[in-house]
Amino acid sequence: MELWFTEKQTPNVGITCKITRTLHTETTPFQELAVIETLQFGRMLVLDGMVQTTVVDEFVYHEMIAHVALNTHPNPEKVMVIGGGDGGTIREIVKHPKVKKAVLVEIDERVIEVSKQYLPEIAVALMGNPKVEVRVEDGIKHVKEHKGEYDVIIIDSTEPVGPAVELFSEDFYKKVYESLKDDGIMVAQTESPFFNRDIIKNSFTRIGKNFPITRLYFATVPTYPSGVWTFTLGSKKYDPLAVKKEDIFVDPSNKYYNAEVHFGAFMLPNFIAEII
Ligand code: AG3
């Protein structure tokens, strides 16, 4: 018998993976959570039917959401991730030698626990890393209560449906701005330039209302809708394109991000550039 998982990414297109088994399913207070074993991409974390990460391609998204901002800031000592309960973004953040503290603020404790159990290579930094603090808390509440505290804030959210809707609002980006120090930087995952052009445009405009330097960049993630994914960076002071190449920190374990990719990711094909 063949077992297949399909995410219907739009009403007209989906991604289908042959699987060997379902490792875990549950309904948490926030969402439906599953971990399945795919043949092509290894273990896969699925929330509300949407692929969040897979063992085989997670490095692209996690390196790219973390290292671009960390290398734009000259001294990223205190960093926060909102969402990102699988731990992949935190794992990348603690690779950076200047990071002293990385705080994960995830609303759904079950995502953290299930990731630790079934995706240990992704969740590794959530299991006793001295630089990491894990907080099960609403990110919106957290930014309101922590003003002027962070050097870098990374919004590693799900799609803007369900628990993450507010994480794409102008008011939230303003709270993120206020939670950053005077020279802070934020990054948000902002979806597919093929399928979610409105989301990209709206996020860019909303982030740009708060941050004087706003830039869109992209990476290729095979298991996400269309395989092309964007990130939007908002910065109070430092421009990611003004970074000196020789100052860029590249961990030897990186599989995607390097000093060339740092700049190349901002070189947008026309169909992406025209969105913003
Ligand atoms: N968060 C963004 C995943 C969005 C994928 N969308 C989809 N499959 N329709 C990923 C979290 C990884 N730490």
Residue nearest atom 2 in ligand 1 by C-alpha distance: 158
Token duo for residue 208: 């740009």
DSSP 209-236: HH-SEEEEEEEE-TTSTTSEEEEEEEES
Fold of 58-273: Rossmann fold (3.40.50)
In angstroms, the CA 69 to CA 53 distance is 21
- Give the ligand 1 atom nearest the CA of 9: 9
CA–centroid distance, residue 177 to ligand 1 (Å): 23
Instruction: Give the pLDDT of residue 71.
Output: 98
Residue minimizing CA distance to atom 3 of ligand 1:
52
From the alpha carbon of 157, which atom of ligand 1 is closest? 1
Cβ–Cβ < 8 Å for 188, 235: no
CA–CA distance, 1 with 21 (Å, rounded to integer): 11
Q: Probe ligand 1: pick from 116, 224, 231, max atoms within 8 Å of CB?
A: 224
- Best substitution site from 52, 93, 232 to test ligand 1's pocket, by max atoms within 8 Å of Cβ? 52
CATH of domain 3-54: 2.30.140.10
pLDDT of residue 163: 76
Q: Are the C-beta atoms of residues 248 and 76 closer than 8 Å to each other? A: no
Backbone angles phi, psi at 203, to 5 degrees: -65, -45
Task: Pull the structure tokens for residue 215.
Answer: 């830039």
Per-residue pLDDT at 162: 78
Residue with tokens 């991000």: 257
Distance from the alpha carbon of residue 270 to the mean position of ligand 1, in angstroms: 24
Q: Which residues contact 221 (CB under 8 A, 6 or more apart)?
A: 57, 60, 61, 227, 228, 229
ipTM of the predicted structure? 0.98
Ligand 1, residues at Cβ distance < 6 Å: 7, 9, 50-53, 61, 84, 86, 88-89, 156, 158-159, 189, 224-225
Q: Which residues of the chain have pLDDT under 50?
A: none
State in Å: Cα 246 to ligand 1 middle. 32
Residue pair 134/104 in contact (Cβ under 8 Å)? The answer is yes
Whole-number pLDDT of residue 222: 98
Q: Is the dihedral of CA 255, 258, 149, 167 positive or negative?
A: negative
Domain boundaries, the chain: 3-54, 58-273
